[in-house]
Amino acid sequence: MLSASLYIIVCSAKNRIRMRLRRLREPRYLFGAIAGVAYFYFTFFARIRGGRGRRSGRGLDPSVNAFTAAAAAGPAAAGLALMVVTAVLSLVPMTSSLLVFPEAEIQFLFPAPVSRRQLLLHRMLRSQLGILFFIVVFSLFVPSSAAFLRLRTGLAMWILFATGKIYFAGIGLAKSRLTSASGPARRLAWAPVALLVAALGLAATALARAFLGRPVTGVQDALTRFSDAAATPPMRVALLPFVALARPFFAPWPWPFALSLVPALAVLAVVTLWVIRTDEGFEEAASQASARSAAARQARMAPAPSARVAGWTLALTGSTEGVFMWKNALQVLRATSGVALIRYFVPLAVAVAAMSTAVLSSRGNVGIAMALCSIAVYLAAFTVLLGPHIMRTDLRDDLRHMELLKTWPLRAAAVIRGEMLFPGIVLTGLAWLALLCGTILSAAGFPRLSNAWRFSGAASAFVLAPALIFAQLTVHNAAAVLFPAWIPLGMSRPRGIDAMGQRIILFGAVLLTLIVMMLPGIVAGAALWFAFYRFVGPVVVIPGAVISLGIVLVEVLAATESLGPAFERLDVQSIERPE
Amino acid sequence: MAITVERLRRTFGSFTAVDDLTFQVGAGEIVGLIGPNGAGKTTTLRSLAGILRPTSGHVRIDGHDIVGDPIEAKRRLAFMPDEPHLFEYLTVEEHLRLTARLYTVNDFDRRAGTLLEELELAGREKLLPGELSRGMRQKVVIACGLLRDATTLLFDEPLTGLDPIGIRKMRATIVARARAGAAILLSSHLLHLVEEICTRVVIMDRGRIVADGTFEELATRADLVEAGSNLEQIFMRVTGRT
C-alpha cells in the first residue's frame, strides 16, 4: 500500500505540475505566470532584500532584549496555549481533513484489499504535501533575513501541524466510537478527552496556586510566577507533550534546536501510533467526514437555492434585455442566503468603518452626523468602484450556461446588455441610497463647503454613479467575451501562479479601460468648467456630469454592439472549468 | 432540406474531432447518428446547434447558415443535449416560460400544460432543477425543446436518465414530431432504438462518415453484404470492430 500511496502522491503532483507547465505554452497563461512571478518578487523577495539592506546599517533593536526576556517563559506559555486550543478544538464538532477522502480515493481504495491502517497511513502521507506547501509560503513571511530562522520555523511548524492533523483524526475516530455498541469501546473512546481534561485540571490548579494567593505587581512578576508554576512537577507533566511541540520554535540554532526536535518527534510518533492502533471506527468516521466535506464544498461552490416566490412573472413578449434582467433578478433573489449576506456585508462594513474612522481621526472631529456622512460617502464610493467587480451576476457568471445561451436565437449585443442590466441597476440603486444619506448629512460632513458646492457635487455624483458602474460592467463583460478563460466560474477560483497573474492583469486592464472610457467625459466636463464656471459657479459640474453620463452610455452601446461578433465566435471550449 | 451539412470540420487545437462531414436531413426524416465513443457525434450535434463554431464548412438549417444567419437558424432549432443544462435558480415553469419568450410561443399555457402532463412533470412546476432527479431534469430540457414548433430537432442521447415509461413516451414523441414534418437528427448508442425509429442512419468513426443510408441500402452495399442485415453487425463492420 505504501508504494501505491506514494505512486498516487507522486503521479498526482507530477501531472499537476506538468499540466501547469504545459499550459504555459498558451500566451494567456505565460503572461499570467510572468505577472504572478513579478508580483511575488516585488511583494516578498524584493521586500526581504530591501529589509536586509536597511537592517545592516542599524544596531540591535532594544525591544529584542525585552522579547528575549519574555521568551524565557515562551515554551511553557506556548505549550499552555496549545493545550487550551487542543481542548477547545477537541470538543468542537469539526471534521478532520485526514479522514476526508476524495471521491476517487473512496472509489478506488475503499474496495481495494488494503487495511484501515494502510488507508490511514496513506492519508497521513498525502496530507504532508499540503502542510509543506503551507509552510513554504508561511516561511516567506517570517520577518527575518536569516535562512536558518526560516528553516527552524518551517521544521517546527511541520512537526506541530503534522501532529495536530493526526491527533484530530484520532479525535474524529474516537468520536465515531462513542456511538459504538460495545461498552468498553465507548469507554475507551472517552480516554483522550479524559486525559486532556485531567491535564487541564493539573495546569489550572498549578496556575491558581501561583496567581490567586497575592496580587500580580507587574508583567515581570506575572512572567516569573508563570515560569515557577510551569516548573512544578504536576504542570510539567500536564504540559509535557505540548511544550515538547512548542520548544523547537524557541530553541537556539543549531544544536539546542536539533535536541528539541527529539521530544517533538517522539510526541508525533506516539500520536501516530495511537491513531493507527485505534482505527476501528475508521470507515464510519471517514465516510461521514467525506460526506460532510463534499456537502460543504458543494454549498460553497453552488449554494443550494430555494424556490422563493419572486412576484415577478416573465411576460411572454418583450425585449431580450428584459429576459436577462428577470433571470438575473431571480438568481440573486433565490441565491442570496444569510451566509452570502454575511460574506459580502461584513467585509464591507469593516472596510467602511475603518476608512471612516481613519478620516475622522485625522480631522479630529467625531460628531455622529459627520461620522454617518463619511460612512455614506465611503459606502457610495465602495459600491461604485468595487461593486461591479464583486457583483458578478452577469455574463461572468453565465459563462457556465454558455452552451445553453449559444442555442438561443438572440442578438449577441442584446444578450450582453441584458446581462449587465440587473447588476447595474442594483448597484446604482445602492449607490444612490448611500449618496442620498450623504447629501442629507453633508452639512455636517463637509462643513467647509458652501451649499452650492455640496448640492452640485451631490447631483454630479448621482449622475456619474451609473456612468461609472455601467462602464465597469461593460469592461468586465467584454473581458468575459474576449478572454473567457480568464474569468473564474461561479465561486471557483483557478489555482496557480499563472491564474493569479491573470487576475492581476485583468484588474489592471479593467482600470485602464475604465480611465479610457471616462476620459472623453472628463475632457468635456473640464471644457465646460473653464468656459462657464466664472458665470454660473459650481453648478457647472452638473451639466459636465450629464455629458459624461451621455458619452459613457453611447460608449456602452457601441461597445456591446461591437462585442456581438466576438460573442458569436466565443468558443465554449475556451471557458476555464474548475480544476 | 431542413438540415444541410457541407464539408463540416471542427478541430480542437491539433486534434480534428470532425472532418469533412457532408449529409442532409429532410423534413419528416429521422436520421440516426451513431458511432463509437470519440467518433465526433456530440461535436457534430453541438456544431449544428450553434454551440461550437465550425472550423470550416457550412451548416444550414432550413437554408439559414448557422454562422452567417444564426438567429434565423436557431429559431428553427431545438437541441436536446445528453447532459441537462438548466438554470439552477429557475423553476420548471419558469424555464418553460423563458423558452416561450425566447422563441415567441403562442398559446403558452395550453402547450405547457400538455407537455407537463405528457412528460409527467405536472405537480413539479414550482420546483428548482436541484430538487429534481436527473431523469426529471432531462424531461425539463425535452419539454423546453418541444414547447415550440421547431422544424429541426437534434437529440443527443435522448433516453439517458429516463425511466422505461419515459423512454416509451419519448420514442413516440420523436416519431410523432417527424410525422408532423420535423427533421430529426438523433445520436444514440442504443442501436435497437435507432433501428426501430430511424428512417436513415449516418455512421461516424474518427470524425468521418463511414456509412450513410437507409438500412436496406446499407445491408445491400457491396462491402457490407457479408455483415448481415442487422444494424449492430453493420456498425461493427463499418467501424472495423469485427
Write down the ipTM of this complex: 0.81
Is the pLDDT at A364 greater than 70? The verdict is: no
Name which of A234-243, B102-111, B137-146 the model is least confident about: A234-243
pLDDT at position A57, please?
Answer: 45
Of A462, A493, A468, A469, nearest in space to A576 by CA: A493
Which of A334, A401, A408 has its CB closest to that of B74?
Answer: A408
**What does the pLDDT read at residue B92?**
93
Q: Give pTM, 2 decimals.
A: 0.71
Of the given ranges (A204-208, A251-255, A267-271, A488-492), which has the lowest mean pLDDT?
A488-492
Option in A401, A406, A409 nearest B102 (CB): A409
- What mean pLDDT is predicted for residues B149-178? 90
Give the β-pairing of B56-61 and B3-12: antiparallel
User: Who among A314, A403, A407 is closest to B74 (CB)?
Assistant: A407
Residue A62's pLDDT is 46
Q: Is the pLDDT of residue A491 over 90?
A: no
The residue type found at A358 is A
Supply the pLDDT for residue A296: 66
Q: What is the pLDDT of residues A529-578, one digit of tens each?
A: 899 988 888 899 999 999 999 999 999 999 999 999 999 888 887 776 65
Q: Which residues contact A250 (CB under 8 A, 6 or more apart)?
A: A71, A74, A75, A78
Tell me what the pLDDT averaged over chain B comes to.
Answer: 90
Contact by Cβ (8 Å): B179, B28: yes
Determine the residue type at A128: Q
Residue A362 has pLDDT above 70, yes or no: no
Residues of A in contact with B74 (CB under 8 A): 407-409
A410 to chain B: which residues are within 8 Å by CB?
Answer: 71, 102
Residues of A in CB contact (< 8 Å) with B are: 302, 304-307, 313-318, 323, 327, 330-331, 334-335, 401, 403-404, 406-411, 568-569, 571-573
A314, B101 contact by CB (below 8 A)? yes
Could you tell me which chain A residue has the CA closest to the CA of B126?
A: A307
pLDDT average, residue stretch A370-374 = 82
Q: Give the torsion sign (CA, A153, A155, A156, A160).
A: positive
Digit-coded pLDDT (tens) for A28-83: 788 888 888 888 777 666 656 655 555 544 444 444 444 555 566 788 888 888 88
Residue A259 reports pLDDT greater than 80: yes
Among candidate residues A455, A470, A483, A437, the one with its CA nearest the CA of residue A541: A455
What single letter denotes the amino acid at residue A68? T
A126-174 pLDDT tens trace: 888 788 888 877 776 666 656 677 788 888 899 999 999 888 888 887 8
Q: Which residue has the higher pLDDT, A355 or A167?
A: A167
Contact B186, B217 (CB under 8 A): no
* 3-class secondary-structure state, position B3: strand
A470 vs A362, more confident:
A470
